[in-house]
Amino acid sequence: MSNPTGGIDPSLGLEWQTDRVRRAGLRETSLLTLNTSQLGVGLGLAGGILFLHALWRFLDHLGEFPRLPLNLASWAILFVTVALVTVALRAAGFLFSTKLFWAMVSSLTAAAVLDFAAIWQHVGDGLYPTSAIAVGAVLLGASSLRPAREIVIASAILGAGLTLGVLVPGPAEDQLGPLLMFLVLAIVPPVIAASILGSYRRHILLALDRVLTQSAIAAPVVLTAGVLGSAELAELDHEVEELFDDVATGREPLPLTPERADQASSLATDLRRHLVAGHQNTWLSHAVSESEFLSDHVTVDDAKGLSARLDQLQRDGLLSGLWMLMSSAARMPATARVSLVERKEQPRSDVRRVLIAIDVDGISRSRVEAITWASLRRVGRYTDTATPLGLRVDIETEVPPPSEQQR
């Protein structure tokens, strides 16, 4: 069962964010509690209610079961499983390992099988499966700790088993309706929980990615190294310092070994690259390359660094618009290309007209949320056209000429 006090979801895919958040000076635990403190509580509670209801029905008929030891064994297995899993989860810091999960599922299967054996061909007497239904409640409680897919698979196994267990003994027509209802009560909540959790996790990751990426728009007008480049330069300097230290203190014999000489040579190359080429990228490239969500699907073509001349409102609009365009195609493999060029004829001398073209392949205009257009409007006047593969947005905007650029 899940536990309200916390739990780490290995499936949430927060690993890739961990690095950036660690750089933000946060402890990993605070990132992990993002999902843990709240996710399990409600589901565990709902599972608990369903579990108690099944137990209640069992206790109601305690004297009528023809093979009571089997029922008792089934419930005993269920209780022991829940207790052991809870203890194991606590010990493991609420990391639900794959092994433990499938061990739990097989143990639950055993409980369900015993329950069916206990009432085999006695359903007509007004006896219905009890612990077999409670198995679904246990799955529901565990659903926040495992990937949605696995919960669905386990529910499908349980569902197939329950259906067979119900239909094979050939129950009276009168009993079919209630049996169906119990089936639904056991299978559906875990499946719905799993599917909602899947969307919920995706939303959290997107929100986090969005918020972290958003910080790039506050970059200064000059070209910067970005967060990744900044950290690399500092690390590089430190490595060089260590090499010099080894040489200075005589730990390293002179002349150097070929390996160390190679290291010095590659350090020099990297350092030059950083010092000379580190200024090449604008905030837009940084934002895109730092975003897990955008980096693989968006290419930026901005050879003249025009995006750096956009003011912060325009930057925000461009990044938000791009982000929402891509997220409206979240289920499809959409790709986008952003290119910025200066217009050839410049009607005024005090501003420069810049054309921004966003080509997105793999989305349709009808899927784009209205708020996207509001964002793009902040950048400048835009027109959107349908292309054979998707959508093209052309934005014409005005930026100050380079000479007036605030540094």
Partner 1 sequence: MSGWRGDDASEPVRRQFESIDRFSIQQSRLAYRMARSFGFTGVLGAAIALLIPGAVDGAALVWCYLTLALLAASHVVIARYPHGLSVVAVYAVGIICLATVGIAAGPEPSPSASAAIVMIAGWGVGSIGAVLSSTWAQVILLVYSIATTVTIATLLGADIGHEVALSAPVLVGLGWAVTTIFGLWLTRANPRVMNRISSIGATYLIERRASEAEAQRHRDARLLHDTALATLTLLAHAGRGVDDAAMRDQAASDRDLLRRLREGESPTPRSSGAYTLTHTAELQLSGTLEAVKARFAHSGLEVAWHGSGQLGLEQSRLDAFILALTECIENVRRHAGVDEAHVTLSDDGTVVRGVVTDAGIGFDPASIAGSSLGFQQSVIARTQDIGGTVRVFSAPGAGTTVVLEVPK
User: By C-beta, is 245 or 301 nearer to partner 1?
Assistant: 245
User: By C-beta, is 182 or 361 nearer to partner 1?
Assistant: 182
User: By C-beta, is 116 or 323 nearer to partner 1?
Assistant: 323
* Amino acid (1-letter code) at residue 338: V
> CA-to-CA distance for 94 and 8, rounded, in angstroms?
6
CB of 208 to partner 1, least distance (A): 5
CB of 186 to partner 1, least distance (A): 12
User: By C-beta, is 331 or 407 nearer to partner 1?
Assistant: 407
> CA-to-CA distance for 244 and 242, rounded, in angstroms?
5
User: By C-beta, is 237 or 386 nearer to partner 1?
Assistant: 237
User: By C-beta, is 98 or 245 nearer to partner 1?
Assistant: 245
CB of 121 to partner 1, least distance (A): 18
**Burial class of 254 by CB neighbour count within 10 A (0 to 12, 13 to 18, 19+):** exposed
Q: Which residues contact 209 (CB under 8 A, 6 or more apart)?
A: 17, 291, 292, 293
User: By C-beta, is 100 or 212 nearer to partner 1?
Assistant: 212
CB of 398 to partner 1, least distance (A): 16
Token pair for 222: 């000059």
DSSP per-residue letters across 203-218: HHHHHHHHHHHHGGGG
* Ramachandran assignment for 383, one of left (phi > 0), alpha (psi -120 to 50 degrees), beta (any other): beta
Q: Are strands 381-386 and 335-342 parallel, antiparallel or unpaired?
A: unpaired
CB of 339 to partner 1, least distance (A): 23
CB of 389 to partner 1, least distance (A): 26
User: By C-beta, is 64 or 343 nearer to partner 1?
Assistant: 64
> CA-to-CA distance for 347 and 349, rounded, in angstroms?
7
Cβ atoms within 10 Å of 208's Cβ, excluding its own: 18
> For 158, which DSSP code?
H
> CA-to-CA distance for 328 and 22, rounded, in angstroms?
29
CB of 181 to partner 1, least distance (A): 4
C-alpha distances in Å from residue 143, one per residue of 128, 132, 155, 314: 25, 17, 10, 42
Of 276, 277, 297, 278, whose CA–CA distance to 288 is shortest?
297
CB of 391 to partner 1, least distance (A): 20
Q: How many residues does the chain have?
A: 407
Which residues, listed in sequence order, are joined to residue 354 by a DSSP beta bridge? 342, 397
